[in-house]
Amino acid sequence: MLNYCTVADNNLSAPRQAFDVPRLNYEEKTMRLILLGAPGAGKGTVAKMLTAIDGSVQISTGDILRAAVKEGTELGKQAKAFMDAGDLVPDELIMGIMKERLKEDDCKSGFLLDGFPRTIPQAEQLKVLLADLGIELQAAVNLDVPRDVILDRLTTRRTCVDCGAIYNVKSAPTKVEGVCDKCGGKVVQRDDETEEAISNRLDVYNEKTAPLAGFYRDEGLLMDVTATSSEAVVAAIRERTGA
Ligand code: ADP
Ligand code: ZN
């Protein structure tokens, strides 16, 4: 368990001034961002676009957990039931992962946290962890996408049960409804992408993760972006970070 009571004020509450001060070294230019936003808000897409720009790394706790489940590691075994139920994995497991991950060498060229932190305790412990590592965050970018847009995005995806091909009923439909263009297999909506399952994930988000916007506002780090397109989000972030 991390102790976050003894760390002195580490200046995170001061307003960001990254662009008013001369950039002295490489470290200052590197991206150090948290991406906040509901499932389907486009965090992963934006993270991938940003890493392509400056060589920073995308750190997705969801990806790390899925890999652990696939490999059947102890972590994967502990996380699987929570993930299958659409619930959050316990904070202790997540902090164990991130404590190690943020110490890895590739983080020196910058990092984008995608899907972490997801609860207030995670955010509080991350603050201590970063202070210990001497890392200062630039911003917590909050991708604000209306719930109906998110539901629409997540519910229009369709998958072929035979070959795994992905379709979208609006933007990339099959030629014949319900029939895979590639193999003729049945194209369906996945169990965890039904309106009901997605609605559950969004409820967990609203209850546990949405309060992080207030947390980072108080820290002077919140950057709200009303995400219209991923390109527009990336442009806004680059303006803010100088990347
Ligand atoms: P999505 O954003 O589509 O809901 P992710 O790929 O970010 O999914 O995460 C998948 C699952 O992994 C989550 O539903 C949750 O069970 C678990 N998970 C990922 N990151 C965290 C985290 N920071 N805290 C707790 N659970 C997490
Ligand atoms: Zn198919």
Atom of ligand 1 nearest to the CA of 114: 7
- pLDDT at residue 192 in the model: 67
Any ligand 1 atom below 6 A from CB of 113: no
Does 118 contact ligand 1 (Cβ within 6 A)?
yes
What pLDDT, on the 0 to 100 scale, is given for residue 141? Answer: 96
83 C-beta closer than 6 A to ligand 1: yes
Of 208, 237, 51, 234, whose CA–CA distance to 123 is shortest?
A: 208
Which ligand is nearest the CA of 93, by number? 1
Q: pTM for this structure?
A: 0.79
| Span from the CA of 182 to the centroid of ligand 2 (angstroms) | 5
Residue 21's alpha-carbon distances to 94, 111, 242, in angstroms, are 34, 21, 12
Q: Which residue lies with its CA nearest to atom 8 of ligand 1? A: 62
Span 75-111, pLDDT tens digits: 999 998 888 777 899 999 999 999 999 999 999 999 9
pLDDT at 77: 95
- For the record, the structure tokens of 141 come out as 């970018």
Q: What pLDDT does residue 66 have? A: 85
Q: Which helix (H) or strand (E) holds 107?
A: none
What confidence tens digit (pLDDT) does each residue in 25-81 have?
Answer: 335 568 999 999 998 888 888 998 999 988 899 999 988 998 898 899 999 999 988
Question: β-strands 166-168, 157-160: how paired?
Answer: antiparallel
| Tens-place pLDDT, residues 114-171 | 999 999 999 999 999 999 999 999 999 999 988 888 888 888 988 888 887 878 899 8
Q: CA 239, CA 243: separation in Å to the nearest integer?
A: 7
**Which residue has tokens 């972590």?**
75
> Which are the catalytic amino acids?
43, 118, 157, 190, 201
